[in-house]
Amino acid sequence: MIAFPPCKINLGLNVLEKRNDGYHNLETCFYPIPLTDILEILPSQQLSFIPTGTVIPGDSTDNLCLRAYALLQKTFDIPPADIHLHKVIPTGAGLGGGSSDAAYTLRLLNDLFALQLTTDQLSHYAQQLGSDCSFFIQDEAMLGKGRGEILEPVHFSLSGKYLVLVKPAVHVSTAEAYRGVIPQAAKQSVKSILENTSLPNWKGVLKNDFEASVFNSHPIIKHYKEKLYELGAVYASMSGSGSSVFGIFDHPIEYADEALIWSGMLTR
């Protein structure tokens, strides 16, 4: 079985408060975009994981795909499998590629071995793998609260708009991003902005709380956001804790830059 795990951008990201467990309560909108990895899982005589494409940092034996397999194996007597992940989505970019791969591993294993897990059950497993993993169990924009694992539908669409996604050659760790942010109550909720404010009025209202400190430490990221606005973006923002930046346009644009990751029309 083959699947194409997509990545996401964050439309707004409010860091509301630090929790007693060390995590933070957030509010954001996860929006899927059609830049994907390629994941193939087949029954096998022994478990194997083969990564290709973009190099994945860290120990491959601890990859989230293998952790997803091990998580299901605790409950179900699933046979060994060959897991082949061709990595396209850049890592450390605030795009959730690793979380998507993990969620789609759960989905493929569920289908391949007829585990008959419901969406809610898959989401429960996904939450154990990462804060935003459960978002990728479904294929639609969702409002994320809590650590990002509490999801609800948000009623708006960017279908027909054009997206330009760039990633400067810098790395922003999640820990670094959180060290620089000051949690605070939001003046207006992400949900309210998305459902009641037209896209041309998002600028200056729909904010990513990580931007201030990340831009201060990595001005090249701010440069790319400003460049997207100069090119005519209706709205531009850093995704997640960075370092990728996206711009939303009303029409396709010619854009050539070594930082370009993906550009195209959104269809959902």
Catalytic residues: 8, 132
Give DSSP secondary structure letters for 111-168. Answer: HHTT----HHHHHHHHHTT-TTGGGGGSSS-EEEEETTTEEEE-----TT-EEEEE--
Reduced DSSP (H G I as helix, E B as strand, rest coil) percent helix, strand, coil of the chain, to 5: 30, 30, 40
Q: Is the dihedral angle over the CA atoms 11, 15, 20, 21 positive or is it negative?
A: positive
Q: Judge whether 125 and 106 are in contact, CB under 8 Å.
A: yes
Alpha-carbon dihedral angle through residues 38, 41, 46, 52, given to the nearest 10 degrees = -10
Q: Closest Cα to residue 26, out of 191, 257, 136?
A: 191
Q: Are strands 81-87 and 150-153 parallel, antiparallel or unpaired?
A: unpaired
| Integer-rounded Cα radius of gyration of the chain | 18
Degrees, nearest 5: CA angle 214-139-87: 60
Could you give the C-alpha distances from 55 to 82, 99, 110, 130, in angstroms and in order? 19, 16, 27, 21
What is the rounded distance in angstroms from the CA atom of residue 255 to the CA atom of residue 231? 9
What is the rounded distance in angstroms from the CA atom of residue 160 to the CA atom of residue 225? 21
